[in-house]
Amino acid sequence: MSVLILTGEHDPSADLMVSALEKREAIVHRVDTSWFPGQLSVTAELASGRWCGTLRTPHRTIDLDTITAVWYREPKAFDFPEMTPTERMHANIEAKYGLGGILTTLPVLWVNHPARVADAAYKPVQLVAAHRAGLTVPDTLLTNEADAAREFGRRGRTVTKMLGGVSLVEEGTRRYARTRLLDPSDFEDMRGLERTMHQFQRWASKAKEVRVVAIGDQLNAIEIHAHSAKAYVDYRSDYRSLRYQLTDLPESVEVGVRQLMKHLGLLYGAIDFVVGPTNEWTFLEINPSGQYGWLENHTDAPLTDQLADLLAGGTA
């Protein structure tokens, strides 16, 4: 078995995965896509309807025909130094559709396939899919019209959160975008809202949050208890105040999660829920490449081993 891991050079979870796969006697190829083209070259030829060829780095040659599984962990952007902006844009497009196209046709086990990751990244798609899977989803408004946002806010407590990225870089400083619970005064001056899409969502009463880490057929549910005001709204705001505990899923939620994963075509996903005071479970989102290492550290859940078993199995 031969597993290709696509991620950055500095990835502690990938470090552990390499060790876990080697214990299973897998051949592991770890590639940082930002090496292309400086430290990574590619040659592939179409033969009998399949791309055959090699990936080459200064230290190894990877035969595409030998790969049995790909962990699409956290690939980085290609790096094209010493080019004009126009040249860099052209080179990036060609690399995306060339190198990316070759890899995505590999008939192997993908965790997850880039096309499925791209589809699942759309929050509106997630919410519709979760509802169809039988999960409870919060009332949600997407708009760039201030009057629509004000009307939604008048109907109940409202949060706003980003649809895509989790951070912005301004003047060299990275600022993280967290879920924000809105006050009535926030709806008074909404200048700038018209410039792009915004997500507003009904606040779900919260006793705790649960992240479900789905790995193949395995579902790992971890309670996240917040002990600060900031973390109560968005636990990412204050990790030091959090407490973790393994838990079981209600049968209806388990069925819904499995249907959601199947509908989205994912073998891995990190799914976030709010659990209310009377044990009502509300789906928030699914991240097809979500982090799991910190949860494994706090709970000893065997997430790395489960994922290594899945990748080592290598059955598409």
> Is residue 103 situated within a structural domain?
yes
> Is residue 189 situated within a structural domain?
yes
> Is residue 36 situated within a structural domain?
yes
Note the pLDDT tens digit of each residue in 53-100. 999 999 999 999 999 999 999 999 999 998 999 999 999 999 999 999
- What's the CA angle centered on 123, arms 118 and 128, to 5 degrees? 105
Reported pTM: 0.92
Question: Is the backbone peptide bond immediately before 37 cis, with ω within 30 degrees of 0?
Answer: yes
Can you give the pLDDT of all 316 residues of the chain as single tens digits? 899 999 999 999 999 999 999 999 999 999 999 999 999 999 999 999 999 999 999 999 999 999 999 999 999 999 999 899 999 999 999 999 999 999 999 999 999 999 999 999 999 999 999 999 999 999 999 999 999 999 999 999 999 999 987 777 777 777 777 899 999 999 999 999 999 999 999 999 999 999 999 999 999 999 999 999 989 898 888 899 999 999 999 999 999 999 999 999 999 999 999 999 999 999 999 999 999 999 999 999 999 999 999 999 976 5
Is there a single domain that holds both residue 197 and residue 284?
A: no
User: What one-character-per-residue DSSP string does 44-105 give?
Assistant: EEEETTEEEEEEE-SS-EEEGGG--EEEE--PPPP---S--HHHHHHHHHHHHHHHHHHHHT
CATH number for the domain harbouring residue 169: 3.30.1490
What pLDDT does residue 136 have? Answer: 97
What pLDDT does residue 178 have? Answer: 85
Cβ-Cβ contacts under 8 Å for 166 (sequence gap 6 or more): 176, 177
Is there a single domain that holds both residue 9 and residue 57?
A: yes
Note the pLDDT tens digit of each residue in 179-217. 999 999 999 999 999 999 999 999 999 999 999 999 999
Count the Cβ atoms, other than its own, within 10 Å of residue 17.
24
Structure-token pair, residue 100: 């990316």
- Domain end point (choices 154, 180, 202): 202
The DSSP element (H or E) to which 126 belongs, if any, is helix 123-132
Is there a single domain that holds both residue 164 and residue 150?
A: yes
- Domain end point (choices 179, 202, 225): 202
Q: Report the domain count for the chain.
A: 3
> Is residue 316 situated within a structural domain?
no
- What's the CA angle centered on 233, arms 230 and 238, to 5 degrees? 35
> Is residue 133 situated within a structural domain?
no
> Is residue 62 situated within a structural domain?
yes
Is there a single domain that holds both residue 191 and residue 210?
A: no
> Is residue 25 situated within a structural domain?
yes
What pLDDT does residue 308 have? Answer: 97
Domain that holds residue 233: 118-123+205-308
What pLDDT does residue 315 have? Answer: 66
What pLDDT does residue 18 have? Answer: 97
| Best CA proximity match to 179, nearest among 225, 135, 230 | 230
Is there a single domain that holds both residue 21 and residue 105?
A: yes
